[in-house]
Amino acid sequence: MHVLILGGTTEARRLAELLHGTPGLRLTSSLAGRVAAPRLPPGEVRVGGFGGTEGLTAWLREHAADVLVDATHPFAGTMSFHAAEAAADARVPLLALRRPGWVPVPGDRWREVDSLAEAAAALPGLGRRVFLTTGRMGLAAFADLPADLWFLVRSVDAPEPPYPARTEVLLDRGPFTLDGERDLLRRHRIDVVVTKDSGGAATAPKLTAAREAGVPVVVVRRPPAPEGVPVVPTPEDAVTWLLAHPGHRLPPG
């Protein structure tokens, strides 16, 4: 059984690690190529886009893929819809591996919005020293905000303009610790945090640190996802689903 994993996430890499070496299974992981030095999963790896739905459909057919796993980032909405359309066109079963979103708890001061533009519009009046943890893409939404706002931007790779004039860039990669996030908020005198609802544990400590410090958090809600696609929350659940699939020639275990 040939499985194509649309990856680039922690969960995708973990799924590849769990499946690597399984008898009767061939594994290919696809990375978008947006990170300069990604952590490569085991098994076959391809890097770069497919060329939209038609390109992905052609790849699935050409490489005789039996199952497609969408393990992309929760905010890679366009790719998820391409995956659903391509899987239907190529008549290949599709499984979505999607980490659960974050849920506010007592003490959180969240303001939920639907886009980066709405997040930017919400900032004036909330704080003046902003911890921006939405990645290096989309910073243009914050570029024209008042000059009295200062931004700490954390990303894996250095962002490219446009971005706010008063910006300090912190190059770092999760997972992050609670002690580290507490220190970061205190050291940079952060009084408002902006994040996407990425979910998962790797970057969640910032939410706890913000709650402890009484710092408000602007949370960008997830974009819509394709309907009618089976969804599992963890790599382990994905393994169970895949090994029970009729295309797998050996029984689980």
Tell me: the pLDDT tens digits for 75-84? 987 999 999 9
- pLDDT at residue number 135: 85
Q: Is the pLDDT of residue 57 over 70?
A: yes
- pLDDT at residue number 39: 80
Confirm whether 252 is domain-assigned.
no
CATH number at residue 185: 3.40.50.720
Confirm whether 105 is domain-assigned.
no
- My answer on whether 74 and 123 are in the same domain is no
Confirm whether 83 is domain-assigned.
yes
**Minimum mean pLDDT among 35-39, 95-99, 127-131, 203-207: which range?**
35-39
Confirm whether 200 is domain-assigned.
yes
Confirm whether 75 is domain-assigned.
yes
| Alpha helices (H) in 63-169, listed in sequence order | 77-90, 116-122
Q: Is the pLDDT of residue 249 over 50?
A: no
- My answer on whether 204 and 235 are in the same domain is no
Total domains present in the chain: 2
- pLDDT at residue number 246: 73
Mean pLDDT of 14-28: 95
Closest C-alpha among 15, 8, 17 to residue 79: 8
Confirm whether 126 is domain-assigned.
yes
Confirm whether 250 is domain-assigned.
no
Q: Which domain holds residue 60?
A: 2-100+224-243
- My answer on whether 239 and 196 are in the same domain is no
Confirm whether 249 is domain-assigned.
no
- My answer on whether 168 and 239 are in the same domain is no
- My answer on whether 11 and 61 are in the same domain is yes
